[in-house]
Amino acid sequence: MKIAIAGAGAMGSRFGYMLKKSGNTVIFIDEWKEHVDQINSKGLLVETENNQEYCKIPAYLPEQANGSFDLVILFTKAMQLNAMLKKMNHLLTSETAILCLANGLGNIETIEKYSGDCPLYVGVTLWSSELIGTGHIKITGSGTIEFQPVNQADEVKTSLISDMLNQAGLNSELSPDVILSIWKKASFNSVLNTYCAILNCNVGQFGSSSKAISLARQVIQEFVLVANKKGILLTEDLVLNIVKKVFDPKESGDHYPSMHQDLAKGRKTEIDYLNGAVAKLGAELKIATPTNQLLTNLIHAMEDIQGID
């Protein structure tokens, strides 16, 4: 397939690398000019547990990209998604499938403002990656993808996308309830991203704490209350089992989540689309979410102290 990855950060770069290695034609679209320039100059430097290699993938600023694509994969951060879609809207035709694997709640509504007749898929992924610097990522562990069409259920196109992802080793499967999956991932991220950022640790280090499960439960239980009020059948065990699984270094135990990476590099976090989103919805539904509100305030305080706008 001919694929554009919009948002060539840690995760977008890992997916672009794996998709390119499996024989697809891939380009990166990203707003970070220095990152784009470095990738175009030397290639994407991919570091694994055992080696390093450069992978040549063309990279463009969104307004400079052109051509037609079978698939656009959105990995742009939630707060940047609207601006990215506005700048790259010229690339979207009725034949262009869109797959959003970005974190957070509310992405579907943003995408639908621009997607028109495009086949739209949304999903979640448990793959992990770390952006070390311009044109340089470190990848560890394994992961999965689950996704689902949200408008046109073209079975042939859906099957082609799923097969292509699996040929790249991305462990894709169709989700029977993608909205539940998105809430499950948002809850999962609101545990690991936020606590690892505040405690300055990786996933495995957080998991080794005697307080980890208790802290995780406090976040998850509030997500469950809000989700259930909206008719989404989220349960505590559904999320907690995944959280426990990734504590293993063979999964994502050695990984520093994206919120930790963002604060370490002085970048704005996605807290308002994770813990902050459920706290906002809880207030609208008159459901108390004190843990998620506190964690949101703490992350914003950390951003303020660092002078991150």
* DSSP code, position 272: G
Specify the amino acid at residue 101.
L
In angstroms, the CA 26 to CA 9 distance is: 15
Q: Which residues of 90-125 are buried (b: 16+ CB within 10 A; e: fewer)?
A: ebbeeebbbbbbbbbbbbbebbeebbeebbbbbbbb
> Is position 86 annotated as part of the catalytic site?
no
Edge-to-edge strands, sheet with 52-55: 52-55, 44-47, 136-138, 130-133
Looking at 157, 185, 229, 268, which residue is catalytic?
A: 185
In angstroms, the CA 226 to CA 278 distance is: 7
Task: Report H helices in 130-274.
Answer: 155-167, 178-199, 203-207, 212-229, 236-246, 258-264
Q: Do residues 110 and 81 touch, judged by C-beta distance below 8 A?
A: yes
In angstroms, the CA 185 to CA 203 distance is: 15
Residues 6+ apart with CB under 8 A from 304: none
Catalytic positions, please? 185
